[in-house]
């Protein structure tokens, strides 16, 4: 264990799987007390078990991040359990592949906006007062390369992910002077259940990988490393940025 987050309390939404889980494990290795928040209880308790196995400290909270009462409870339980809140990672999201705009449904739009955009807003809304009480903090939101250059696979997902970038900028404007740094990570394809689900077949997965200059999807741990930098004091002069972690995909965009 190293000590880049020693003494800090981190809350990770979407901690049951993929990028969220990899980040929970890394945060705990770096000395943070971690609250693993997710609607998936078996996955969340497994993340906690993996942390405990390495002698780290973690606690699971079941939450639907689109529900304000539950999100408020998630933050309250974090402070009750570990006394403070220093780091928030908002990784909970869904990706519903939809037909082009005119054929896509209002239901898919609403569900995606509720979880992927409102869920991030609510998590920040309830976390910020606790961070202010503790003297500051670091918030890391997860957008996507789809939030920068659109996404043919889902209208609502691309718009929600673009919204997260704007939400990050606005929150950074409002809270950096008060000691809270707010940043965003924009991943390209990452080998997680979400990407395996959205690509549907091994063939399509390989096609997406081939579209990246590095010719592969990221490992979730590669995202966790970037997120750790933004969470820790190593990025003490960084706020309001969107950090692309995409194998060069954005640079290669036509």
Ligand X SMILES: NC(=O)c1ccc[n+]([C@@H]2O[C@H](COP(=O)([O-])OP(=O)(O)OC[C@H]3O[C@@H](n4cnc5c(N)ncnc54)[C@H](O)[C@@H]3O)[C@@H](O)[C@H]2O)c1
Binding-site ranges for ligand X (CB under 6 A): 13-14, 16-20, 38-40, 43, 63-66, 91-95, 115, 119, 142, 144, 187, 189-190, 192-195
Nearer to ligand X, 5 or 74 (CB): 74
Q: How far is the CB of 248 from ligand X (least distance, A)?
A: 15
Of the candidates 126, 157, 175, 237, the residue annotated as catalytic is 157
Q: How far is the CB of 90 from ligand X (least distance, A)?
A: 7
Q: How far is the CB of 104 from ligand X (least distance, A)?
A: 18
Nearer to ligand X, 1 or 253 (CB): 253
Nearer to ligand X, 29 or 118 (CB): 118
Q: How far is the CB of 15 from ligand X (least distance, A)?
A: 7
d(CA 231, CA 241): 13
157 is catalytic: yes
Nearer to ligand X, 178 or 207 (CB): 207
In the complex, which residue's CB is closest to ligand X?
18
Cβ-contact 30, 1 below 8 angstroms: yes
Nearer to ligand X, 221 or 233 (CB): 221
Q: Would you name the residues annotated as active-site residues?
A: 157
């Amino acid at each position: 264990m190293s000590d880049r987050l020693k003494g800090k309390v981190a809350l990770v939404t979407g901690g049951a799987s993929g990028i969220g889980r990899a980040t929970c494990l890394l945060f705990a290795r770096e000395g943070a007390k971690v609250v693993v928040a997710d609607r998936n209880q078996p996955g969340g308790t497994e993340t906690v078990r993996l942390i405990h196995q390495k002698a780290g400290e973690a606690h699971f909270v079941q939450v639907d991040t689109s529900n304000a009462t539950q999100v408020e409870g998630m933050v309250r339980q974090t402070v009750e359990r570990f006394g403070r809140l220093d780091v928030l990672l908002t990784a909970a999201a869904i990706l519903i592949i939809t037909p082009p705009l005119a054929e896509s449904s209002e239901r898919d739009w609403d569900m995606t906006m509720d979880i992927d955009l409102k869920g991030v807003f609510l998590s920040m809304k309830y976390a910020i007062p606790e961070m202010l009480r503790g003297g500051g903090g670091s918030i890391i939101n997860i957008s996507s390369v789809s939030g920068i250059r659109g996404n043919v696979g889902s209208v609502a997902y691309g718009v929600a992910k673009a919204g997260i970038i704007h939400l990050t900028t606005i929150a950074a404007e409002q809270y950096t002077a008060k000691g809270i740094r707010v940043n965003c990570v924009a991943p390209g394809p990452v080998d997680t259940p979400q990407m395996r689900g959205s690509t549907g077949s091994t063939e399509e997965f390989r096609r997406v990988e081939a579209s990246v200059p590095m010719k592969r999807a990221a490992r979730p741990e590669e995202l966790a490393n970037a997120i750790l930098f933004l969470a820790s004091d190593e990025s003490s002069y960084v706020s309001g940025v969107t950090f692309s972690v995409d194998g060069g995909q954005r640079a290669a965009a036509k």
